[in-house]
Amino acid sequence: MPQSTSKKNYRLKPAPAATFTSAALTDVGCVRKRNEDNFFCSDHDRIFMVADGMGGHQGGNVASHIVSHYLPNALLKQQIFLQRSPKALLARFLTTQVQKTSAKVHRMGLENRHLTGMGSTLIMALARPPWVVIANVGDSRAYLIRYGAMMQISDDHSTVNGMIKRGEITAQQARVHPARHIITRFIGMGAHTKTDLGLLYLRKGDRLLLCSDGLTDMLEDGTIVQIANESRSAQQAVSQLVEAAKAAGGVDNITVVIADYHGI
């Protein structure tokens, strides 16, 4: 069944035959007192999202809540447009909606001193089978698992990723670097927040995995793909990944969304 943190429903007509089976799970972890992650996950609407909040006394939870509610609802209000528009126009529309979401988070942070400086990452898959658009702001990640192999299909907007690209440190060194949690782009920076967009052609049997850094900080990619491949279902996969991250220390909130593509 579709899972979602959103209570509103803007569906306009019955969906075609299901092309995805998905599951999502978020957990506070073993150290933090508050869960500042949120997600949106819907097979019906073919929208899958993870938002990892930060900033302020309660700002992180508020920021990620806005992202995981406001953005999907804005998209679902334009469901017919999403179904019929060319991919290039769809990408521009998605960029605009992400910028509006970022402006909303920024404005709320200015209006409420308890929320000052709040922000959120965004990793989202918006599917129009057999294509899927990946939108990314921050360091939450999207992976594609195909034929048992996993590859990262998003780019971290972080200080350490910039250092890796410049050859200053290795990926292994980045995992323990003091600046590993500093991100260079986030939802809440304002209306001109830049969004990375990627277009991916799906194949039957593909598995999309979206997650917050509470998963990737705790588990190496090899461990993640092994657990995902050994799981019989998306639901089992998210559960086992979260438990493995907690067993490894669970120092941050952990959120995992998995969507299995069955073809059209």
Among residues 122, 149, 109, 135, the alpha carbon closest in space to that of 213 is found at: 122
The tens digit of pLDDT for each residue in 71-113 reads: 999 999 887 777 777 777 888 889 999 999 999 999 999 999 8
pTM of the model: 0.90
Mean pLDDT of 213-240: 97
* 49-69 exposure pattern, b = at least 16 Cβ within 10 A, e = fewer: bbbbbbbbeebbbbbbbbbbb
Mean pLDDT of 181-204: 93
The tens digit of pLDDT for each residue in 127-148 reads: 999 999 999 999 999 999 999 9
90, two tokens: 């769809």
139, two tokens: 């360091």
Mean pLDDT of 41-64: 91
Residue 164's pLDDT is 92
Residue 201's pLDDT is 95
Q: 112: how many CB neighbours lie within 10 A of its CB?
A: 14
Residue 84's pLDDT is 74
pLDDT higher for 192 or 234? 234
Mean pLDDT of 116-125: 95
Residue 77's pLDDT is 87
The tens digit of pLDDT for each residue in 133-190 reads: 999 999 999 999 999 999 999 999 999 999 999 999 998 899 889 998 899 999 999 8
Is the alpha carbon torsion for 24, 188, 136, 94 positive or negative?
Answer: positive
Return phi, psi of residue 97, to 5°.
-70, -35
Q: Are 252 and 217 in contact (CB under 8 A)?
A: yes
Confidence of residue 226 (pLDDT cuts 50, 70, 90): very high
Q: Which residue has the tokens 């995902």?
A: 228
Cα(240)–Cα(234) distance, rounded to whole angstroms? Answer: 10
SS3 249: coil
Amino acid, res. 143: Y
Residue 190's pLDDT is 86
Q: Are 133 and 119 in contact (CB under 8 A)?
A: no
Q: CA–CA distance from 112 to each of 48, 196, 263 (Å)?
A: 29, 29, 46
Q: Is the peptide bond prior to 72 cis by the omega test (within 30 degrees of 0)?
A: no
The tens digit of pLDDT for each residue in 2-27 reads: 444 443 443 434 445 569 999 999 99
Q: Is the model's pLDDT at 60 over the cut of 70?
A: yes
Domains defined along the chain, listed by start: 20-261 (3.60.40.10)
Mean pLDDT of 221-237: 97
Residue 56's pLDDT is 62
